[in-house]
Structure 1
């Protein structure tokens, strides 16, 4: 028997003073109500209700049990209300994970506006260049540059596409010159991001042409900001998604190299535990993030 229904039936019987009226209120037949009550008493090994053809009354232990049952049901009702409210009004802690570069450039700048709009939400940002397990780490929202999740229950939503480009500082290019074809990269100092797939092999395309170059980096790192800083100081040619170096290129701090050639592009995705019953705190942050990307036209800027 369903224990929750047993408790509801008992509380409703005490409220209405009748098992049959309680059954009617809960949408069950009288025989079913009798079975539920008998099942509860059998499980507890006590008599909760005395009933005859003329009347029904609770035993002393039955009255005590009803009071406890009412408290349990009230707590459950309040818990339901709180959960439903959280799906309407953003509350609690929003846990986000993204790479350090994405967090610096596109998560942190949104947090002041987000917390102004939703002051009952606190934000925890877990920067990680490797993909944290969403469920094991209680993550509400992850930003990924991969198009799949090992867990099929995870929802993936496309945010934007970005080119991967090569850039170098004006000082580096002044001293070393710029490569005129992919093969000339072998004569240059390369700054490699070690978490890229096959990071020591660069596969270029240009119209119908293809070129694959195996490169050993002068410097390698698992963090894009470390490599970006090295490139700005003139150490070598950087290979990174355009979203990381866009502002530097625009300001002239870094110069695109072999820009007429394309490397495989990256898709930036959002990943979260479930599309169904998405909490208000997650939904509202996704809305703010995607709205900002549309407003600033990032995908067009990053794919040109």
Structure 2
């Protein structure tokens, strides 16, 4: 029995929740997957998968074995990639975590160019707004928005900045009036990003002037695309990043307010940064992706 192949087929079966689905992923016959998993169980003297006519489930022993087998396969893949990474060009798998809306708007449209430039690079892109545990989730590189909080054992590199803009639709401004001063927002419905607290302050800065406005409104969300949609619908004033509103400002669907100020909510900062583990320092795959980011930002 090819033990490594058996491990791959067992892990694929658990991931796919069945022999047939695993076989399709691996592009082999279902009987081949079944035979390899059977041989693995016989060698171990333990049932790893519970089989019925309707489903395949993981036994208690199989669940523990799956975690170890998956870790072995991932470490082997990373070891292979680290050797390939020393060649003439970036090669092998690169797992990258991107903020959801920012990734869709600013990065994903350009990924084809990166893949064409490096034909041996294998990209695995995850879109999430969660803070990623690089080690536990086997992520090579994480792109984050905002000031990067210091984390033990993690390298953080600044990539750039973006600008937040106070915007509202022309219909909203016709109905409610155009706020002339930041404090005028106290009389407006403000659409707020949900940072976990119901109270939010927008800080306006221009040269030596700092104005803090406690904003209120009927809508808040932890998703910037939801805030963008409600602002375009004419239901309030929003503080949104330039990368999601620039086209609306050009097309007249939104109007920018207070352009002489830089504006940020609470204590956030409009920064873009990259995070990776120290063992990836000098990686050609990571350096290629960071150079790609520098070109498109």
TM-score where L is the length of structure 2: 0.65
Contact 1:200 1:217 in 2 (8 A): no
- Cα contact 1:129–1:222 (8 A) shared by 2: no
Shift of 1:205: 2.3
Q: CA deviation at 1:92?
A: 2.9
Question: For residues 239-285 of structure 1, what are the alpha-carbon distances to aligned partners after superposition, in whole Å with 9 as ceiling and x for unaligned?
Answer: 12223222222222211112223224411111111376433222211
Asked if the contact 2:84–2:92 (Cα under 8 Å) also holds between the matched residues in 1, the reply is no
Q: Secondary structure at the match of 2:262?
A: coil
Q: Which residue of 1 aligns with 2:217?
A: 217
Partner of 2:295 in structure 1? 291
Q: For residue 30 of structure 1, what is the aligned residue in structure 2?
A: none
Of residues 167-176 and 120-129 in structure 1, the stretch that sits farther from structure 2 once superposed is 120-129
CA distance in 2: counterparts of 1:126 and 1:204, whole angstroms: 34
Secondary structure in structure 1 of the residue aligned to 2:153? coil
Query: 1:81, CA displacement in angstroms?
Result: 7.8
Alignment-derived partner of residue 32 in structure 1: none
Q: Using a 3 Å threshold, how does the CA distance of structure 1 residues 110 and 197 change in structure 2: closer, same or farther?
A: farther
Q: Residues 275, 291 of structure 1: CA spacing in aligned structure 2 closer, same or farther, 3 A cutoff? A: farther
Matched, 1:83 2:82: yes
Mapping 1:146-157, distance limit 5 Å: 146-157=146-157
| Contact 1:87–1:278, Cα closer than 8 Å, also in 2 | no
Q: Assess, with a 3 A threshold, how the Cα gap between structure 1 residues 162 and 275 changes in structure 2: closer, same or farther.
A: farther
Query: Contact 1:147 / 1:267 at 8 angstroms: preserved in 2?
Result: yes
**Counterpart-to-counterpart distance in 1, 2:240 and 2:260:** 16
Partner of 2:168: 168
**1:90 CA displacement:** 2.6
Instruction: Quickly say closer, same or farther: Cα 1:164–1:275, change in 2 above 3 A.
Output: farther
Preserved contact between residue 192 and residue 239 of structure 1 (Cα < 8 Å):
yes
Aligned to 1:50: none
Work out the CA distance in 2 between the residues paired with 1:81 and 1:142. Answer: 21
Question: How far apart, in 2, do the equivalents of 1:81 and 1:134 lie?
Answer: 19
Q: What is residue 245 of structure 1 aligned with on the other side?
A: 245
Mark the runs of 5 or more structure 2 residues left unpaired by the alignment: 1-77
For residues 160-199 of structure 1, the aligned pairs below 5 Å read: 160-195=160-195
8 A contact 2:140–2:280 mirrored in 1: no
Give the unaligned 5+ runs of structure 1: 1-78, 294-304
TM-score by length of 1: 0.64
- Cα distance between partner residues in 2 of 1:151 and 1:261: 32
Whole-Å Cα distance in 1 between the matches of residues 276 and 150 of structure 2?
13
Partner in structure 2 of residue 102 of structure 1: 102
How many residue pairs are counted as aligned between the two chains? 215
Larger Rg: 1
1:142 to 1:80, Cα distance in 2 relative to 1, 3 A: closer
Correspondence list, 1:18-97, <5 A: 83-88=82-87, 89-97=89-97
Distance 1:172 1:145 in 2: 29
In structure 2, C-alpha distance between the alignment counterparts of 1:278 and 1:199, rounded to whole Å = 43
User: Residue 226 of structure 1: SS of its match in structure 2?
Assistant: helix
For the 8 Å contact 1:203–1:210, the answer to whether it is kept is yes
The answer to whether residue 127 in structure 2 is matched with residue 127 in structure 1 is: yes
Q: Shift of residue 197 of structure 1?
A: 8.6
Name the SS of the counterpart of 1:263 in structure 2: strand
| Inter-partner Cα distance in structure 2 for 1:83 and 1:213 | 50
Please state how far the C-alpha of 1:210 moved relative to its aligned partner: 2.5
